[in-house]
Amino acid sequence: MQERQLYEYAVIRVMPRVEREEFLNVGVVLYCSSKKYLEAVYTLNHQRLSAFCISCDAREIETYLIAFKNICKGKGDAGPISLLPAAARFRWLTATRSTVVQTSKTHPGLCIEPAEMLQKLFKNLVE
């Protein structure tokens, strides 16, 4: 029997007007230290986004989300943050900020396979 591993996750949100604190869940980022796993999955439904915020630039938000995913993967072309260890990248991505793309507070859990848990969380919290 496989042992369950501690993981942390946060919901990725689009919050076009930070002062209103209204947001649209678009993805999930999950970090599991023991499995050396850091990954984000997202989807940007353009029709839903434009209904939520008519003035949002979906292409610009998509660019931010791609950068978010590239930082998770540790791609060097994603900037200096992507060169940090996975734990530091996760903490940086989930830090409190006042930008259009931000995350929820982090939440812990136990899982056997982080990739499966990421998909389950994505389905339950975003789709």
Cα dihedral value 11, 15, 19, 22, nearest 10: -70
Please give the pLDDT value at position 51: 83
Opening angle at CA 59, ends 54 and 61, nearest 5: 75
Please give the pLDDT value at position 46: 85
Distance CA 59, CA 67 (A): 12
Q: Classify 84 as helix, strand or coil.
A: coil
Please give the pLDDT value at position 7: 98
Q: What is the mean pLDDT of each run of 10 residues along the chain (127 residues)?
A: 92 89 94 97 90 86 93 88 94 91 96 98 97
Cα 69 vs. chain centroid, distance in angstroms?
Answer: 8
For residue 31, what are the domain limits? 5-125
CB 52 within 8 A of CB 10: no
Q: How many domains does the chain have?
A: 1
Please give the pLDDT value at position 28: 98
CB 31 within 8 A of CB 37: yes
pTM tops 0.95: no
CA distances from 72 to 46, 48, 75, 94 (A): 23, 25, 8, 11
Please give the pLDDT value at position 1: 61
